[in-house]
Each structure stands twice: as structure tokens, then as C-alpha cells.
Amino acid sequence: MNERFMLRALELASLGRGHVSPNPMVGCVIIHGPESDEPNAEPRIIGEGWHQRYGDWHAEVNAIRSVRPEDAHLLTESTVYVTLEPCSHWGKTPPCADLLIENRVKRVICCNDDPNPLVAGQGFAKLRAAGITVGTGVMAEQGRDLNARFFTFFERKRPYIILKWAETADGFIAGEQGTPVKISGELAHRLVHRWRSEEDAIMVGTNTARLDNPRLNTRLWPIQAGPLQTGFNKNPTRIVIDNQLSLDQTLNLFDGSQPTIVYHQRPLSFVPERHNVSYSFAPQDAGPLLVHLMQDLHQRRIQSVLVEGGTTLLKSFMEAGLWDEMRVFRSPTMLGGGRLADAIKAPAVRGNLISREKVGEDELTIYKNSPGN
């Protein structure tokens, strides 16, 4: 199998990041010609596409549609490289497996089986029953990494959790008694806003909400010109843990500008009503709050959460083993100045180091959780 075509399909799939959830990112490349292990092989790409936006056409449809009319007759002798098993069911669009069968493609090569029970091998079964050769497992690790959120959601029944914070060179995350301190630079701030646009939800705890009064939106990540321009910035669903519902309702989190979920453990005789704000009660005798939170978010079909809380909230996810990725900015700034007595220490990093790079004057390190947690 020619991995360079699958690599191209993976590159195309990544263009859908932040636009297709709760669907997976999928890319598709259609080639005609001999495979690379044959003498004088010169395969040619005749079509390609990706899933651009939730509710729109899937990658296979866009790839088929991109084939020029004069090349349409080549489909019956072509190989389709697609990053995930073609769907076999009706959703917002028709089954992609049926489309490939209708066009009588010769072969379909995939990275991964689809973990969604609505598909789960049925797409491959349809293709094989129609006489189409199917190959799987090509660049499977890269395919799973691309759609880590999608696989985590279906296999672990919870969202993909990203812990993010910025710390000073001397290891602090906030000033005296949690007082906000500017730590990372402007480039890091802009990058974080891009991350927010790529995830389904963003979370903070009570103290961060009260002391920082964050908006948790994507105002620093401008609308991009081009075919994917939407006319608005994509803001994540905001999540705040407020056990006793003690937060001031004039905080930015409650301004109704984007969907917001408040998790609490205070029994109420009535459910508060605020525009774009919902409340979720977690009984204290029903187990750990984070377990309830994971279950509820799974039911809401939220596949990823960027946790920007303070040390207490971040540590609670670490101690519960409920995290998948850790993104840490370290600034050259020292807190110092006689303000260390009550300053808040940053959590200790853990997991497997994936990358380290400079973002402006800051250093960004990314860690991933070890399998089995």
C-alpha cells in the first residue's frame, strides 16, 4: 500500500479540525494507476476531499465530486484512500459506503475502523459484499491520533481532556491567594484562543471564575478568509464547577453570549433560568463529581474539553486519571518580589513528553497520558 496517499488524506482530514465535531475528521484521496511496488509505477490523484463542516458532505462525497468529468470513467479502476471506515448509515447525509459502491471503485484503503456502533465494521462489510477490495490498518496510529477525541468518546465513554496552564519560571500559576498574574506572552494567548476554537468545551473552577472573571471565548483568533470562512468565530461551550452556586451572576460566564453549563452539588427547589446557561446537579452521595461530569458531558455529545482551571481543578483531574493531554507554557518571568508566601504553585507535570517548542518568549511543552490510566 502506498502510504504517501494516506498521508495526503490525513493532511486533508486535519483541515476539518474545529469544524466537524461530533463527527470525526476524515480525508479522502482517489488515485488511478499502478501501485508503487509495480515497475514504472506512476499513480495519479484524480480526486480528493475532506469533511469540511458538521452536517455537510463527507470526505468521500467531496472527493468523488472533485473528479473531473473526463476522468469519471477511471473510478472503476481506482483506489480510494480514506482515513476512516466509510459510514454505512443515514445521518445528515447518505451512507458513503453506498456512494463508493455506486461508483464501482476498485479498492478502498483505510487507516481505522469506525468505533461508532452505527458503523463499526458495517461499512467495510457493505464494500466487500459489493466486490470491492478493502484494506485496513494503513497508518493506523496516525489515524487514531488525528481523531483521538472521537475514539476516546466512543471507547472510553467520556470527552478527551486537555489540561492547560501557564507558569512562571519559578513554578507559580497565580499570585497571592490566587490573584491573577500576567504570565505568558501575546503569542501564547493567541495560540490558546485557537485551541479553544478547536475544542467542544472549555472548563474552569469556582476560584478561577471568581478571581479572573474570564470570558472563555475565541476573540483573539480572527476569522480566516477562504473556503471555510463561516462569518463568525467558533466559541466553545463554557463549563464551570460551582458546587454551592456562590458565583456572582454578573460574571462574564453568565452573559449568555455562548452556551454555558454550571455543575453544582446544591439541591434546588427550582432550576435557575438564564439565557444560554444550563445547570447540572450532581448529588454528593452519587460518587465523585468528576465522574458525574464525564458521564453528563458524554450524554451531551461533547467530545473534548480544554481545562483552564486553577491548580485545584487541574490536580483533581490528574489524581482521578481523567486526562489525555497536558499543555504547559513556561514563561521566563519570575514571580518573586516578596509575593511568594501565598502565591499558588503550578501542578507538577506528568505523562510522556511529546514536544517542546518556543512560542514567543514562552516555552510550550506538551505531554500525553500513559496508556492504561
Give the whole-angstrom CA distance, residue 98 versus residue 63: 14
Q: Which of 35, 42, 48, 60 is catalytic?
A: 60
At residue 197's C-alpha, the angle toward residues 193 and 200, to 5°, is 125
Which residue from 216, 182, 174, 220 is spatially nearest to 199, judged by alpha carbons? 216
CA max distance for the chain? 76
Instruction: Say how many CA atoms lie within 13 Å of 83 toward its Cβ.
Output: 32
Instruction: Work out the percent of the chain whose per-residue pLDDT is above 70.
Output: 90
Q: Quick one: pLDDT at residue 149?
A: 97
pLDDT > 50? residue 227: no
Q: Quick one: pLDDT at residue 230?
A: 46
* Cell numbers describing residue 174: 497565580
Higher pLDDT, 89 or 107: 107
Q: Quick one: pLDDT at residue 81?
A: 97
Residues 6+ apart with CB under 8 A from 30: 45, 46, 47, 48, 63, 64, 67, 75, 78, 79, 80, 81, 105
Which residue from 302, 4, 333, 331 is spatially nearest to 159, judged by alpha carbons? 302
Give the whole-angstrom CA distance, residue 231 versus residue 217: 16
Q: Quick one: pLDDT at residue 135?
A: 94
Q: Quick one: pLDDT at residue 41?
A: 62
User: Model confidence over 120-153: pLDDT tens digits?
Assistant: 888 999 999 999 999 999 999 999 999 999 999 9
pLDDT > 80? residue 105: yes
Instruction: Work out the percent of the chain whose per-residue pLDDT is above 90.
Output: 71
Which domains does the chain show, CATH number per domain? Answer: 3-151 (3.40.140.10), 158-368 (3.40.430.10)
- Residue range 175-204: mean pLDDT, rounded: 89
Higher pLDDT, 222 or 370: 370
Q: 0.85 exceeded by the pTM?
A: yes
The residue type at 109: I
Q: Quick one: pLDDT at residue 370?
A: 80
Give the whole-angstrom CA distance, residue 360 versus residue 261: 33
Residues 6+ apart with CB under 8 A from 70: none
Over the chain, what is the mean pLDDT? 89
Q: Quick one: pLDDT at residue 339?
A: 55
Comparing 29-33, 269-273, 357-361, the range with the smallest average pLDDT is 269-273
The verdict on whether 60 is a catalytic residue reads yes
CA distances from 91 to 15, 58, 88, 94, 166 (A): 22, 11, 9, 7, 41
Comparing 187-201, 276-290, 293-307, the range with the smallest average pLDDT is 276-290
Crossing angle between the packed helical segments 311-320 and 289-299, to the nearest 10 degrees: 80
- Residue range 203-225: mean pLDDT, rounded: 87
Contact 54, 19 (CB under 8 A): yes
Banded model confidence at residue 342, pLDDT cuts 50, 70, 90:
confident
Banded model confidence at residue 155, pLDDT cuts 50, 70, 90:
very high
Contact 204, 316 (CB under 8 A): no
pLDDT > 60? residue 229: no
Higher pLDDT, 108 or 228: 108
Residues 6+ apart with CB under 8 A from 215: 252, 253, 255, 257
- Residue range 322-333: mean pLDDT, rounded: 95
